[in-house]
Amino acid sequence: MSARPPASSESNSGETPGADPDDPIGMRFPNLARIWNYQLGGKDNFEIDRKASDAANGLVANLGVPTGAAIALEGRHLLQRMVDYMLGQGVRQFLDLGSGLPNMASTHQIAHRAAPETRVVYVDSDPMVSAHTAALAAGRNVVTVQGDLREPGQVLGDERVRDLLDFGQPVGIIFMNVLHCLWNEEDPWGLVRRFEDATAPGSYLAISHMTTEAHPEAAEKVFQMTQDLHWDAPLLSRDRADIARLFGGFTLVEPGLVPPAQWRPDLDNPLRENEIGGGEETVLETSFAELPDDELGVGWHLCGIGVR
Ligand SMILES: C[S@@+](CC[C@H](N)C(=O)[O-])C[C@H]1O[C@@H](n2cnc3c(N)ncnc32)[C@H](O)[C@@H]1O
């Protein structure tokens, strides 16, 4: 698996998804935010995204590996448990980077169920994500910013971010299923460090990242598919050591770096829709589909939470 971005001459005859002024939201190429939305049963996607999702699911199913839909659902359950954990540690402000299209219980809903005063900033580089999130997740204590986590200075310096979050107090920084979109050359380790440097002691870092550990052949083939079909982002699985290194100065809390199904499964509460209900936020789908038993612990990701 190459960890370097293709040179422009190698990639799509120099065409960059989304960079075409005639195609501002990148409808000509499969788009990861919309693919993830489709995998989660959402409606904010186009035929090109559905075809790419189905192709990826077919490829991994042929290798006997769980599909993107199972992985995406497992990831949303994990987000719920990780946010609940950080709330339990007293965190009342979150910076959710690469937050995705809102079609299943999102960070602010999970948090507001228990602590309505919690402040949440969503950051995503995709224009459709920021438009939908701003519309659906509008409300007190929630801000949506279209921003690129490869520009930490811009994200952290954004007035809306600084107005809502107090970086003198602990923050929960969330990178769920996004750091594998960055090439090694873009230095995901250094970028995470920039966010770490902005946080106060007592802050938390939550990461879930695709790994080569469980299904190396499928990981390589899925990566190659993202390149061949010109997805707007690569899916670069990494090994345990490279993922562990992302935590930098944060100390991993128990149970350490594990597959999502093994990360504090006792915190899972799929009946949360009963508790979230009411108020404006019910416009979002807050129910959680059951995870099929045979797809638990799929091991495509490694995840953990670190504390400063
Ligand atoms: C696979 S989705 C994950 C969404 C959500 N975090 C979740 O776990 O359900 C990855 C998201 O990261 C966003 N993304 C990819 N690269 C990004 C970057 N450099 N900066 C900000 N967002 C990015 C994509 O637009 C997409 O919405």
State mean pLDDT over 9-30: 62
How many whole angstroms from 98 Cα to the centroid of ligand 1? 3
pLDDT of 13: 39
> Can you give the residue range of the structural domain that contains 138?
68-214+235-307
Q: Give the chain's domain count.
A: 1
What pLDDT is stored for residue 19 in this prediction? 58
What is the CB neighbour count within 10 angstroms for residue 142? 24
Residue 22 lies in a domain: no
Sign for the CA dihedral angle at 98, 213, 193, 260 comes to positive
Task: Indicate the average pLDDT of the chain.
Answer: 85
Indicate whether 280 pLDDT > 70: no
Using a 6 Å cutoff on CB, does residue 218 contact ligand 1?
Answer: no
Cα-based angle 75, 79, 83 (whole degrees, multiple of 5):
170
pTM of the prediction?
A: 0.89
Please name the residue whose Cα sits nearest to atom 16 of ligand 1. Answer: 181
The predicted pLDDT at position 288 comes to: 47
pLDDT digits (tens, 9 = 90+) for 215-232: 889 899 999 999 999 999
Residue type (1 letter), 14? G
- Whether 286 has a pLDDT exceeding 70, the answer reads no
Rounded-to-integer distance, Cα 79 and Cα 83, Å = 6
Average pLDDT over residues 192-218: 95
Distance 17 CA to ligand 1 centre (A): 15
Q: Is the pLDDT of residue 207 over 70?
A: yes
CA 273 – CA 254 distance, rounded (Å): 27
Q: What is the pLDDT of residue 29?
A: 92
Read off the pLDDT band of 6 (50, 70, 90): low
**Does residue 50 fall inside a structural domain?**
no
The string of pLDDT tens digits covering residues 250-269 is 999 999 999 998 899 888 66
Answer whether residue 4 is part of any domain.
no
Confirm whether 28 is domain-assigned: no
Q: What is the pLDDT of residue 279?
A: 40
Q: 121 in a domain, yes or no?
A: yes
Tens of pLDDT, residue by residue over 34-83, are: 999 999 888 999 999 999 999 999 998 888 888 888 888 889 889 999 99
* Predicted local confidence at residue 140, as pLDDT: 80
Would you say residue 3 lies in a domain?
no
Mutate to test the pocket of ligand 1, among 25, 94, 181, 191 (most ligand atoms within 8 A of CB): 181
Q: Does residue 61 lie within any of the structural domains? A: no
**9-18, 30-39, 143-152, 213-222 — which is least confidently predicted?**
9-18
Structure tokens belonging to residue 98: 């690469």
Q: Which residues of 184-213 are buried (b: 16+ CB within 10 A; e: fewer)?
A: eebebeebbebbbebbeeebbbbbbbbbbb
**Residue among 103, 178, 185 to mutate when testing ligand 1 (max atoms within 8 A of CB):** 178
Instruction: Report the C-alpha gap between 124 and 100 in whole angstroms.
Output: 7
Take atom 24 of ligand 1 and give the residue whose Cα is closest: 33
Q: What is the pLDDT of residue 214?
A: 81
CATH number at residue 186: 3.40.50.150
Q: Which atom of ligand 1 is nearest to the CA of 147?
A: 21
Nearest CA residue ID for atom 13, ligand 1: 98
Q: Determine, yes or no, domain membership for 43.
A: no
- Whether the pLDDT of residue 123 is over 70: the answer is yes
Going from the Cα of 96 to the center of ligand 1, the distance in angstroms, rounded, reads 10
- Work out the average pLDDT over 182-208: 98
- Tell me if 181 CB under 6 Å of ligand 1: yes
For ligand 1, the distance from its centroid to the CA atom of residue 303, given in whole angstroms, is 16
Q: From the CA of 295, how far away is ligand 1's center (Å)?
A: 23
Looking from the CA of residue 149, the nearest atom of ligand 1 is 20
